[in-house]
Amino acid sequence: MKGYSNQRINNNRSKIFTGIVSGTLNGLTTLGGMPVALFLLVTSIQPAVIRGSLAALFFLTDVYAFILSFFGGIVDMITIYRTLPLIIILPIGVYIGDKFFIKSREALYRKVVFYFLILISIFGILRIIGSI
């Protein structure tokens, strides 16, 4: 990962392929954002664009999953009431993250995001293995 970038894959064909892989993984394992994040990291796109793209991706997939879960009966009003305090505290976390993002260097940002994605993937895989 150190210093690696590949501008040749920054084309529509690669983006469509990444979207298909991401959608499939999201349906199978709820790890759909990982291929997109890896694609953005490898194509050496600016960190602000990566951050915005991932925020939009996770927001849209979470809204989509919430709507499906609500109509599927997985989410009920008790779940919604439990999340309200978290939604109130959320802006504090966004503020803190924004302050750290502004001060970070691009190389450090890419490294932290890459290792964070690896960590999330490991937890997701362990969760799936544990449910078998």
CA distance 52 to 59: 10
- Condensed to tens digits (0 to 9), the pLDDT of residues 62-103 reads 888 888 888 888 888 898 888 889 888 988 988 887 777 766
Evaluate whether 114 touches 50 at the Cβ level (below 8 Å): no
The residues, any chain, with a CB within 8 Å of residue 53's CB and separated by 6 or more, are: 36, 40, 45
44 token code pair? 């050496």
CA distance 114 to 108: 10
Domain boundaries, the chain: 7-130
- Condensed to tens digits (0 to 9), the pLDDT of residues 5-48 reads 556 666 778 878 888 888 777 776 666 677 777 777 777 777 77
